[in-house]
Amino acid sequence: MYSWRDSSGTLVLSDTPKDGAARTFAVPGVPAAIRTTKKPFSRRAADFEDLILEHSLANGVSPDLVRGVIQAESAFNPMARSPKGAMGLMQLMPATAAVYNVVNAYDPGQNIRAGVKYLGTLLSKYSQNVELALAAYNAGPGAVKKYGAVPPYRETRNYIARIQGTAGVRPAANRAVYRNVELVAGREVTRLSNLPSQKVSPVRASIN
């Protein structure tokens, strides 16, 4: 994927480089074979495409995954607000908005920047395991840590399935999830990952 800005400052993305100085970006963990969108997004999606592509590339997150999260969270309504207080396109909670220095959560640029960065952080935390990252985005990292897998919440499982169907992200069959315990400053820190440490056994054969 190549990107540049034209004379008016508009972000342009293409699979063909403009010139030899074009920069190449790779989105990790997103095989081309599974990136095809299966279901249409809201008609409003095109209004936010430049922001989605810009921040997806900046954070190494699949644009299709970001579109799927926005569709599930707010149906591309920048003024959406949940009964629990989640705001904007990717439904940022006030605490999350504060962490990512969002002044106005209803501003699409600020909201998508923070939401995609948070999603990218979760993907890194769970070693690019999309299901765990989505579960944490929906139910919170604490719930994922508690169960060592996708929490058995109907809402969360439906949320993941909805995004998989919309964004063309296939569920991982028989993917092992490992609980790695590390000593940090004398304290045990538990991390969930697809990759085992040298002395660890899978806590669950599959997270489906």
Spatial separation of the C-alpha atoms in residues 70 and 157, rounded to whole Å: 17
pLDDT band at residue 5 using 50, 70 and 90 as cut-offs:
low
Residue appearing with tokens 């949940």: 82
Within a domain: residue 138? yes
- Confidence band for 61, pLDDT divided at 50, 70 and 90: very high
- Would you say residue 198 lies in a domain? no
pLDDT for 151-185, tens place per residue? 999 999 999 999 998 887 665 444 445 556 666 66
Is the residue at 208 inside a domain? no
The residue with greater pLDDT, 165 or 39, is 165
Domain containing 83 equals 2-174
Domain-located, residue 100: yes
Count of alpha carbons within 13 Å of 154, Cβ hemisphere only? 0
Report the candidate in 196, 164, 162 with the shortest Cα–Cα distance to residue 177: 196
Angle among Cα 134, 136, 142 to the nearest 5 degrees reads 165
Q: Which residues make beta-bridge pairs with 62?
A: none
Q: Flag whether 182 is in a domain.
A: no
Task: Write down the pLDDT at residue 44.
Answer: 84
Average pLDDT of span 54-83: 96
Q: What is the C-alpha separation between 45 and 54, in angstroms, rounded?
A: 14
Classify residue 205: in a domain, yes or no.
Answer: no
Quick one: pLDDT at residue 187? 72
- Residue-wise pLDDT for 77-136, tens only, equals 999 999 999 999 999 999 999 999 999 999 999 999 999 999 999 999 999 999 999 999
Please report whether residue 167 resides in a domain.
yes
Q: Which helix (H) or strand (E) holds 55?
A: helix 49-59
Based on the structure, what is the number of domains in the chain? 1
Q: Which residues contact 181 (CB under 8 A, 6 or more apart)?
A: 188, 189, 190, 191, 200
CA nearest 181: which of 207, 147, 145? 145
Among candidate residues 73, 155, 182, 188, the one labeled active-site is 73
At 184-206, the pLDDT tens digits run 667 766 555 555 555 444 444 33
Specify if 80 maps to a domain.
Answer: yes
What local confidence, expressed as pLDDT, does residue 7 receive? Answer: 63
Residue 188 appears among annotated catalytic residues: no
Sign of dihedral through CA atoms 75, 76, 80, 84?
positive
The CATH number linked to 131 is: 1.10.530.10
